[in-house]
Amino acid sequence: MSNNTRNLIVSLIVLALALGYLGWAESYPAERAEVPRLVAWVTLVLSAIDVFAHTRTAAGRRTAELLSGRAHLEAEGDLRITLEEWLAVAWMGASLAAILLGGFLAGIFVYVAGYMTIHGRLSWRLGLYVAAGTVFSCWLVFDELLRTGLYRGFLFGG
Amino acid sequence: MLDALWQGLVLTLTVKGIAMLVLGVIVGLIFGVIPGIGGPNALALCIPLTYGMTPQDAMALAGGIMGSVSFGGSITSILINTPGNAPNAATCFDGYPMARQGRAGAAIGAAGTAAALGGVLGVLLLLAVVPIAKQIVMSFGPPEFFMLSVLGLACIAVSTGGMFLRGLVSGGFGLILSLVGVDIINGGTRFTFGIDALYDGIGVVPALIGLFALAEMIHLSIAGGKVAREDAEAEISGVWDGVVETFRQWPTVLRGSAIGAVVGAIPGVGGTICGFLAYTAAQQVSKDPDSFGKGNILGVIAPESAANAKDGGHLIPTLAFGIPAGAEMVVFLGLMILHGLEPGPRLLIDHEDVIFALIVSLTIACIFATVFGLLITRWLALITLIDVHILVPTVTAISLVGAYALEQKVSDVVISVAFGIVGYFLIKFRYPRVTMILALVLGDLAERSFYQSIKIGDGTIGIFFQRSISLTLFVLIVAAFLLPGLRYLRSRARDAK
C-alpha cells in the first residue's frame, strides 16, 4: 500500500467522523444545534477537499499543491504504522492502566520501573532508583506542597 | 503606564515571585536543551505546578520559561548541531563550526548575551505597544471577537508549513471538541456520550498535556537511543570572549532584535523564520559574507537575538487580541485561562497588573537565564546524553499527575492519554496539533460571541460586515485563506524561471 493510499484512507476516516458528527448535531433541537451544525458543515467540506486532494487525479494533486502553497509537494516519511509505534502507544496505555488500578504512587512506580527494564532494557536496579525518585518527586510536589490528594487507585479503594 | 509597570515590578519581586522566576528559568533551560521538547511542551508540563499560585506567580514562572528556553536551545545548536527549538535552527550554521574549531565557549557566550539583549529589546517594543493596543481594543464587540477567533485559527493554519488544509481540518475538530459539555447559551448538554465526566467539557490543560507532552514522549519512545545523536563537545572555554564580542557587534544585535520583535508580532509567522531572516540580513550587510557558515560569530549573534526578541513580539497579538502568534503562545493562552485571565481584548484593561508582571518577569528572565545558563552550560549539555528510556517514563508520569492535579478528576488523566495517542497520529499523518488546541481554547469565545452577534444583528449575519473593525478582520481572514494560493503561484513562477 502506497503512502498516498494510506493518506487517502486517513482522510476518508476523518471525513466519516465529520459526517457522523453532523448527523449527531442534527439530532439536537434547532437552537442548541446552530453552532455545532455550522462547525460540522465547515469541517465536512474541508475534510471532503482533503479527500479529493489525496486522490490520484491531476486535479487532486493540483488542489493539494495549491493548498500547501508549494509547487512541489514534500516527500513524506513512511506512513506505515510499525510494531514499535504500537508498542509505544501500548506503553502509554499501560501507564494509564497502572494509575487507574494502583493509584498514582504505586502505578507510577510500576510503570516507570517496568518501562525502563522491559522496554528500555536497562538494569532493574537503575529502574527501581529512577522509579522511586519519580514517585518521591510527585508525592513531594503534588501531595505535600500542592495538597492535591493523589488518586489511590481502584485496588486501594480510590 | 509607569504606575502599572511599577505595580508589575512589586508583584513580581516578592520572594515567591523570584522563586518562581528562577524555577521557570531552570525548567526553560533544561527543556530548551532537550531537542524536540521545547517551549510549548515545557510550558504545558509546568501548567499543573501553577494550580495553587496567584496569576502573578504563574506569570513569573511562564516568563522564566519563555525567557530562557531559547538560550537553552542554542546550546545544543552549537554543541551537537541539533537545535533545541526550531527558532534556534539558524544558529547551527555558524555555531556548530565554531564548536568544531574549539570555540564552543565563545559561541555559547555570544548566543547567551545576544539572547538576553534581544529578549530585553523585544520586551521594550511590547511595552511601547501596550498603550496603543489598549485604545484599539476598547472598540471591540462580539462581532469583532468572533472574527478574531476565526482569524487566529486561519493565521495559525497558514503558518503550519504546507499543512494549511489539514490545519483547518484539525481546527474544525478542535472546535467540535470545544462544544462538548453544557451548552453555555441554551443550557442542556451536548456530545457527552452520557459520560458525567464530560459534562464540564474537555479541559484545555489535559488536552494540552496530551497533545504536546505525551505525544512527544511516544515519538521519543519510538526513536529510542539518546536525545543527542553525537557526543557533545567536551571542552567549553572562552565564554567571556563571546560575551564581549556581542557587545562590540551591537548593530547586529539591534538589527536581529528588531527583525525578531517585528516579525514575531505577526500572527502565524512563527519564530523559526525570525532566526533565518536575521541570519540572512547579517550575511547580506557583512563585508565578508563568505565567512558565514564557517564559524562567523555574527552568524550566532544575529539569529539568537532575533529568536529571543520574538517573544516580546509574540506577546503583542496574544495579549492584545487573543490571537496567539505561535505554538508556545497557544499553550500560554491555556495557562492564562486556567488563572481566570480570559484571552482577548479585555485582558489589557481588566488585568493590567498581571500583564505588567509578565513583562517584568520576561525581562528579568532574559538576563538571569543568560547569567545562570553560562554558569551551568557544561552540565546542561549532558542532559542531551540521557537515555530516552529514562526520560520518557519520568516525563510521562509527571505529565499524568499534572493532568489530574487541576480538577482532581481521574477522567482528566484518561483524556490526556487519549489526546497523547491522537496527538502522535496527528504528527504522523501531518495534521497540525496546534490548530486543534487553539480551536479548543477559542471555541467557547467564538460560540458565545457568535450568538451575541446574531442577537445584536436581529438574527442576520450582516452584523459581521457592518462594523469597520469587524469588516477589516474579515478581509484579513480572506487574505489569510488566499495566502497559500499566492505562495503556490509564486513558487510556480520561480520554477518557470
| Per-residue model confidence as pLDDT tens digits over B205-216 | 788 788 877 888
What average pLDDT does the segment B348-362 reach?
A: 73
Residue A29, C-beta contacts closer than 8 angstroms, at least 6 positions apart = none
Encode B340-350: b = buried (16+ Cβ within 10 Å), e = exposed.
ebebbbebbee
Give the pLDDT band (50/70/90) at residue B418. very high
What SS3 state is found at B236? Answer: coil
Give the pLDDT band (50/70/90) at residue B471. very high
**pLDDT value for B340:** 78
Selected for mutation to probe chain B from A3, A63, A79, A95 (highest B CB count within 10 Å) is: A95
Does residue B415 register a pLDDT over 80?
Answer: yes
DSSP letter at B213?
Answer: I
What average pLDDT does the segment B110-114 reach?
A: 90
Residue B476 vs residue B92, higher pLDDT: B476
What type of residue sits at position B478?
A: V
Q: Which helix (H) or strand (E) holds B280?
A: helix B272-285
CA gap B469, B485 in Å, rounded:
25
Task: Domain ranges for chain B, please list them.
Answer: 2-496
Q: CA B17 → CA B12, B22, B60, B70, B100, distances in Å?
A: 5, 9, 6, 21, 40
Does residue B228 register a pLDDT over 60?
Answer: no
Dihedrals phi, psi of B68, to nearest 5 degrees: -115, -20
Q: Which three cell numbers stand for residue B351?
A: 488585568
Which residues sit opposite B182 in a β-bridge?
B189
Mean pLDDT rounded to a whole number for chain B: 80
Residues of chain A numbered 46-85 and touching chain B (CB < 8 Å): 46-47, 49-50, 53, 64-74, 76, 79, 81-82, 84-85
CA gap B176, B180 in Å, rounded:
7
Q: Which helix (H) or strand (E) holds B182?
A: strand B181-182
CB atoms B389 and A7 under 8 Å:
no
Does residue B263 register a pLDDT over 80?
Answer: no
Q: Does the CB of B387 have a partner CB in chain A at under 8 Å?
A: yes
Residues of chain A numbered 24-43 and touching chain B (CB < 8 Å): 24, 28, 31-32, 34-36, 39-40, 42-43
Does residue B408 register a pLDDT over 70?
Answer: yes
Q: Which three cell numbers stand for residue B155?
A: 493565521
**pLDDT value for B233:** 47
Q: Which three cell numbers stand for residue B245?
A: 564580542
Residue A108, C-beta contacts closer than 8 angstroms, at least 6 positions apart = A95, A98, A99, A131, A134, A135, A138, B397, B400, B401
Contact residues, chain B, for A138 at CB < 8 Å = 397-398, 401
**DSSP helix, strand, coil percent of chain B (3-state; round to 5):** 75, 0, 20
- How open is the CA angle A40-A42-A48, to the nearest 5 degrees? 100
The string of DSSP letters for B15-38 reads: HHHHHHHHHHHHHHHHHHHSTTTH
Residue B377, C-beta contacts closer than 8 angstroms, at least 6 positions apart = B75, B108, B236, B239
Does residue B232 register a pLDDT over 50?
Answer: no
Q: Does the CB of B19 have a partner CB in chain A at under 8 Å?
A: no
| Per-residue model confidence as pLDDT tens digits over A122-141 | 999 999 999 999 999 888 87
Does residue B473 register a pLDDT over 80?
Answer: yes
Residue B117 vs residue B141, higher pLDDT: B117
| Per-residue model confidence as pLDDT tens digits over B168-222 | 999 999 999 999 988 877 778 888 888 888 888 898 878 878 887 788 889 889 9
Burial class (CB in 10 A: 0-12, 13-18, 19+), A36: buried
Residues of chain B numbered 140-179 and touching chain A (CB < 8 Å): 162-166, 168-169, 172-173, 175-176, 179
CB B367 within 8 A of CB B64: no
| Per-residue model confidence as pLDDT tens digits over B4-51 | 667 666 766 778 878 888 888 888 888 777 655 667 777 887 787 777
| Per-residue model confidence as pLDDT tens digits over A9-55 | 999 999 999 999 999 999 988 878 888 999 999 999 999 999 998 88
CA gap B144, B473 in Å, rounded:
7
CB atoms B222 and A85 under 8 Å:
yes
Residue appearing with cell numbers 538560550: B71
Distance from the A65 Cα atom to the nearest Cα atom in chain B, whole angstroms: 7
Mean pLDDT rounded to a whole number for chain A: 88
Of the candidates A37, A42, A48, A39, the one whose C-alpha atom is nearest the C-alpha of residue A14 is A48
CA gap B231, B246 in Å, rounded:
27
Taken in order B82, B87, B93, B95, the sign of the CA dihedral is negative
Does residue B268 register a pLDDT over 90?
Answer: no
To the nearest whole percent, how much of chain B has pLDDT over 70? 86
**pLDDT value for B236:** 62
**pLDDT value for B161:** 65
CA gap B349, B118 in Å, rounded:
27
What average pLDDT does the segment B447-457 reach?
A: 87
Selected for mutation to probe chain A from B177, B221, B477 (highest A CB count within 10 Å) is: B221
CB B149 within 8 A of CB B474: no
Give the count of beta carbons closer than 10 Å to the beta carbon of residue A4.
Answer: 16
CA gap B239, B75 in Å, rounded:
12
CB B372 within 8 A of CB B87: no
Which residues sit opposite B199 in a β-bridge?
none
CA gap B366, B491 in Å, rounded:
38
* A58-68 vs B468-496: helix crossing angle, rounded to 10: 120
**pLDDT value for B52:** 74
| pTM for the full predicted model | 0.75
**pLDDT value for B362:** 72
CB B322 within 8 A of CB B442: yes
